[in-house]
Every structure is written in structure tokens, then in C-alpha cells.
Amino acid sequence: MSTRKPGNPSEKMQTDPNGGKAPSGLNREIQSKIGQQLRAMYDDVVQEGVPDRFADLLRRIDNPSDEGKAE
């Protein structure tokens, strides 16, 4: 058990990564629960895929020489 003063930012940065605490102060169990809930909330969005117009824009960004060509 360490005796650190609250609000000391340099002490937070030195937190043992295997001690179960993240630099944010949330333990791994809480982080895991938040991750599970976020995945559950956004799973439908991820399953939708990328709309064709966005995919086309990404292709144009990747291949700027194709810009003037007809589709």
C-alpha cells in the first residue's frame, strides 16, 4: 500500500501497470465493464458497414490520380 497524496499527477504516472489500476484511476474490472457496455451499445452500428458513398470517398483519397476518371 503506497501513501500518495491525492492530486499529485507525477504519482499517477508511476502507477504499477500490473497493480490493477490504470493511469485514469479506473481499475481493470471497471474498464472491462465499460468496454462491454460500449460494445453492446455500438454493435449495431459496427454491423451496418460503411455506406457506399463513404467507401467511394476513401478510395478517392487513397488514389487521387483516379479523380478525373469517369465511373
The pLDDT value recorded for residue 1 is 46
Residue spans per domain, the chain: 25-64
- Residue 27, classed as helix, strand or coil, is strand
The pLDDT value recorded for residue 34 is 96
- Identify the segments of the chain with pLDDT beneath 70: 1-23, 66-71
The residue with cell 497524496 is: 5
The pLDDT value recorded for residue 18 is 52
The pLDDT value recorded for residue 46 is 86
The pLDDT value recorded for residue 25 is 85
